[in-house]
Chains A and B, each alone.
Chain A
Amino acid sequence: MNKKSNIILLVIIFLSKPGFSQIGQNFITSNNQSFSNCLVIFFSILPLVIFIGSLYFNFLKLIGQKNQAQVSTARLDFKEYLKNLSKVQIEKYYKIKKIKCDGKCNGSCVKLKSVAVVLFLFFLNSYGFAQTGTSTKVVMSQPGIVITIVLLMIPVLLGVVYALILVNNSIKHYLNSKKIVDAEKLATFITTNEDSDLEIEIAKRKKSLDFELTNVELSGSEAPVDAKGLLHNVSDKHEVHFTALKKKAAQRPSIDADVSMLILWYLGCAAFWLVVGTGIGEYVGMKFVAPDLDHISWLSFGRIRPVHTNIVFWGWASLGMIGLGYYVVPMVSNAKIYNIKWGWIALVLTNLMVILGSICLMSGMSNGGGEFREYIWPVMALFAVALILTLANFLLTVANRTTKEIYISNWYIISAIIFTIIVALVAYLPFWQDGVSETIVQGYFMHSGVGMWFTLYTLGLLYYFIPQQINKPIYAYSLGILAFWTQILFYTLIGTHHFIFAPLPWWLQTVAIVGSVGMIIPVVAATINFTMTFKGQWNKISHSYTLPFFLVAVMYYLIVSLQGTAEAFKFTNLIWHFTDFTIAHAHLGFYGIITFAIWGGVYTIVPRLTGKEPPQHLVGAHFWLAFIGLLFYTIPLSIGATLRGLMWAEGKPFIDSVVLMFDFWLWRAIGGSIMFISHILFFYNFFKMTVKEVEEIDIKEEAFKILENQVQTNQ
């Protein structure tokens, strides 16, 4: 019966095969060689191929096993079976030897039902094929139709898989019926067997199977004792963690409370300005989507756009970097910070500069020149004084160092401050600013602002944080030095690449392009240095809540800097200059590199200063929202900007290029919102790390307090 049913099944399948292939041919003849049609054909034939293929293999297996079964019956060695019995089987063996019974086994019945199901599915299948076949001729090139068909094919495919399982089961039943015959023979052999050698063999086997470990062979029976007091906070409760469990911050030598307070205030102000600055940025981004959001002069687009950029530049990143510098510079010099008071003055001045500058810009008092130079000079002078104080403080700290060498971080950090003072003076002194000269200075200012202040300083921080967090020295000190000098050499030259094709001296534009290519050297050198430091320690990233931030910063440093090089070329300027591509690039760089590095730094040192850790799942949420938000922000904007540049090159009307950007501006606003949410999380995390809460009572501590009090009162 079994055999018959299987054969019928196979016959049906083979009969239906030509029908299927015909449908397939219909497909091919009616398709117009478009990709979508190929896709549909592929998905339609796939279940067929799978079905036939697996049936063929099953068939082969069946034949093979049948042959094998015949051969093995001939050579059936019951003794071998008996020597390999399991523990339970041996026990049963002994039982049976005592009480003889005659077991009857039921044969399996024919799975008519399964065959029916298979057939039904088959017809269903072919019905589906026919449907798609006729529709091919009409609307096959429509993506919606293609997607629908592909989706419809999923249940069909599942049906095929189910049918195969049923067929497979039928085959197994058939094979089992053979085996049952053998089993009956074995049973009779067992009951009739009187061979004493075999009995001994079985007894031996039973003994070895009975062997069990006591589980205390290695540890002994004594309870563990921490004789040297090495273990703390051992938790014997096991909980389920929904997020990855990260390592706690390592205990570090405690920092002077005054310095600690100064650093926390720097970072706290920075975090505050981040939320304010990006909140304004978010609002600016929304104005692209809804230009009539408000009609208040102080909140108009032209005025608050520079407010946003300057707050994140000076308020967030600069304060954040200097704050981290107050930790790193003395730490790597192994000396005390020279003068804490200067630090406080610089902090107040910088905050004052941001507040006054924002008010000036919103009230309409602006330089009007270019990016990041909108603050008028009396406002910017405050920052210059702050920088000079910071420089003196750091420099004198390094002068008091107790190490022989000046660690590379201090090369970068202190040079960054020196260069920035020069940059600010060149940008604001009036002697060389008339006519196009203002633009020459502007190119230099905005690029050196990025390259000499933010990038150089952040690299200095990374040279401390990355090796420290990985607990491994930096890969190559000399690569750091190479990057340092080449960064100065090339980065200084490239400001004019913001004004390619502008009426600036052509030699200056050429120097800028060449310098931009030269930037490959410091960028690749630094990236190699950091990634080789990471090498072999990648597993630490998943256990740390700070290292992911640094890793992102390093990766973006490579990607964005090389992107900058590519953007400096003449052809790319043709398409991308004046478009939002620049905005996307600026955010990738400033956010991806600088901001992520500062976050990493904050999460590293604040727990050391306060002894409190941020909620780890919120750090994770902050990281991912910021990371994903940035991608949402930059990728659509870059795509839209490229299309816009191409449109301009084709000479299309300008307003059409505005309309083109609408969707991309919407995506930018969405990405910006995600980023902004992450900043609020960051602010909350910072709050959790710093602000004193009602402490949870430690029962042991409290008990001793009570006892001590009792002792005191008794005395």
Chain B
Amino acid sequence: MNVFNDHKKLYPIAGALFLTLTILVVIVPAFQNQKNNAPFPSSKPLTKEQKAGKLVYISEGCVGCHSQQVRNVEMDRVFGSRPGMPSDYANIGRTSIWQNTATLMGTERTGPDLTDVGNRQTSRDWNLMHLYNPRSVVSQSIMPSYKWLFEIKENPGYNDVVVNIPSQFMNGQSGKVVASKEALHLFAYLQSLKQIPLPEGTRPFEFLYKKSVSGKTEGTKNAVSLDGKVLFTANCQSCHQENGEGVKGAFPALKGSPIVNGDNLELYVDIIMNGYDARAEFGVMANVGTNMEFTENEVTAIINYERSSWGNNGRKVTAEEIKKIMDFVKIKSTAK
């Protein structure tokens, strides 16, 4: 055919075909998205600090291991309460004149997804320790250490944020570890990563591929089918550690703890659901239970696991009594 023997026809035809397809599958949907998807009314733009933190997140290449997208599949439920929507990303614009837009959705989960990490892990002490050396709080972690975001000072000033690093992670250095501005910005950005609740009356997309026999699926949830160890590993272990001994100067031990073994169930449940900040020698505990929307069955499973592990020997509790306490604790916390 003549067309195929004429470079003035062949290449323009091929190029035009490619360009047309490109417009159809990229340019058109991209413009459509920009036109049709607005940010949620309740979403707030990043503050100056958080923005600076996002720049740190981008420079350090965190997206290489951490995704920021909750897919509408059941296995992603651990990373957020609802599947992501285009509106979640709608207020993300160009980073700077030099840098392109970064939704940071990512394609790799060598580490966990961070879409909702601002709800999941709120403790500043934990986050800073984790950034200084992840192995100081999660012994099996392979995340890099970001020591260059910290300074070592002999005499930290009044405004300095001191991080209590266990001595084996100090490499023999003396002095106090102080978080730099970048580290605090990065923390601020991580805390800004929260799934925005949908406006009243809006139903989120459903999670697909539910397991037929699942601890997580509504309705089939009961205390017996739930594995307290799995829940503990996923939600509590990063601070209180696998051996229940916590981290000195940061996270209290559960092993031999009077609260875990004692009879004050109300305080126990209150701590799990609403956090704790009564002891100056330890960091602040976030309202993990409320953030993770624990049900009475999950709380029961965790309590029973903690009460029967590491030599602890507390009384087993039932879902019914925990349910009552949880209702009471909820009223108390909202009344505050």
Contact = CB atoms under 8 A, between A and B. Distances in A.
A30 B50 CA distance: 70
B59 A365 contact: yes
A635 interface: no
Contacts, number: 273
A411 B141 CA distance: 49
Contacts of B323: none
A484 B112 CA distance: 40
A328 to B, nearest CB: 16
Given A422-B19, A489-B21, A368 B63 contact: yes
Residue with the highest number of chain A CB atoms closer than 10 Å, among B19, B26, B62, B104: B26
Interface stretch (B66-74, B243-251, B266-274, B290-298): B66-74
Among B69, B101, B102, B238, max chain A CB count under 10 A is at B101
Interface in A639-654: 648-654
Interface in B86-135: 86, 88-95, 98-112, 133-135
A369 B103 contact: yes
Nearest to A430: B94
B58 A368 contact: yes
The bracket for how many chain B residues form the interface is: 35 or more
A367 B99 contact: yes
B51 to A, nearest CB: 13
A503 B89 contact: yes
B158 interface: no
Contacts of A665: 142
A502 B84 contact: yes
B202 interface: no
Interface in A387-444: 395, 398-399, 404-406, 411, 414-415, 418-419, 422-423, 426, 428, 430, 432-442, 444
A654 B64 CA distance: 17
A488 B11 CA distance: 12
A305 interface: yes
Given A369-B102, A503-B84, A574 B75 contact: yes
B17 A295 contact: no
A580 B98 CA distance: 31
A367 B63 CA distance: 11
Given A370-B63, A406-B10, A452-B18, A492 B25 contact: yes
Contacts of B73: 501, 574
Contacts of A504: 29, 86
A431 to B, nearest CB: 8
B18 A419 contact: yes
B90 A419 contact: no
Interface stretch (A240-248, A269-277, A540-548, A655-663): A655-663
A413 to B, nearest CB: 11
Contacts of A485: 17
A435 B91 CA distance: 6
Contact of B216 (A295, A496, A651): A651
A418 B144 contact: no
A368 B65 contact: no
Nearest to B112: A654
A56 interface: no
A440 B146 CA distance: 31
Contacts of B75: 574, 648-649, 651
B233 A656 contact: yes
A473 interface: no
Contacts of B317: none
Given A376-B98, A399-B7, A438-B102, A651 B37 contact: no
B14 A418 contact: yes
B218 interface: no
Contacts of B209: 574, 649
Contacts of A656: 233
A302 B101 contact: no
A435, A502, A649 pick with most chain B CB within 10 angstroms: A435
B298 to A, nearest CB: 12
Nearest to A511: B25
Contacts of A377: 98, 100
A303 interface: yes
A116 B58 CA distance: 83
Contact of B144 (A300, A406, A582): A300
A651 B214 contact: yes
A571 B76 CA distance: 14
Residue from A422, A426, A438, A496 with most neighbouring chain B CB atoms (10 Å):
A438
Contacts of A493: 21, 25
B100 A369 contact: yes
Q: Which of A365, A395, A652, A655 is most buried by chain B, counting CB atoms within 10 A of its CB?
A: A655
A366 B140 contact: no
A677 interface: no
B309 interface: no
B138 interface: yes
Nearest to B216: A651
A302 B60 contact: yes
A297 interface: yes
Given A433-B30, A438-B100, A651 B230 contact: yes
B15 A415 contact: yes
Interface in B197-218: 208-209, 211, 214-216
Contact of B25 (A295, A434, A452, A495): A495
A422 B18 contact: yes
B195 to A, nearest CB: 12
Interface in A569-606: 574, 577-580, 582-583
A622 interface: no
A499 B105 contact: yes
B293 to A, nearest CB: 15
Contacts of B142: 287-288, 291, 658, 665
B11 A415 contact: yes
Contact of A653 (B57, B59, B233): B233
Interface string B136-150: 001011111111100
Nearest to B102: A368
B42 interface: no
B69 A433 contact: no
A479 to B, nearest CB: 14
A498 interface: yes
A488 B141 contact: no
A411 B59 contact: no
Contacts of A495: 25-26
B95 A578 contact: no
B165 to A, nearest CB: 13
A411 B145 contact: no
Interface in A541-579: 574, 577-579
Nearest to B232: A653
B145 A654 contact: no
A502 B107 CA distance: 10
Interface of B: 4-5, 7, 10-11, 14-15, 17-19, 21-22, 25-27, 29-34, 37, 57-65, 67, 69, 71-76, 78, 83-86, 88-95, 98-112, 133-135, 138, 140-148, 208-209, 211, 214-216, 230, 233-234, 237-238
Interface of A: 287-288, 291-292, 295-297, 300-303, 305-306, 361, 364-371, 373-374, 376-378, 395, 398-399, 404-406, 411, 414-415, 418-419, 422-423, 426, 428, 430, 432-442, 444, 452, 481, 484-485, 488-489, 492-493, 495-496, 498-505, 508, 511, 574, 577-580, 582-583, 648-656, 658-659, 665
Given A444-B25, A488-B14, A503-B69, 14 more contacts: A288-B142, A302-B60, A305-B61, A368-B57, A370-B106, A370-B107, A414-B11, A418-B18, A419-B18, A435-B90, A439-B105, A492-B22, A574-B209, A582-B108
Closest 8 A/B residue pairs (Cβ): A302-B61, A368-B58, A364-B59, A501-B71, A578-B109, A437-B30, A653-B233, A432-B30
25 contacts: A291-B141, A297-B148, A302-B64, A367-B95, A368-B102, A369-B63, A374-B61, A376-B100, A398-B7, A399-B7, A414-B7, A418-B15, A434-B94, A435-B34, A435-B103, A436-B33, A437-B30, A438-B101, A439-B103, A488-B21, A502-B71, A503-B88, A579-B109, A650-B211, A655-B237
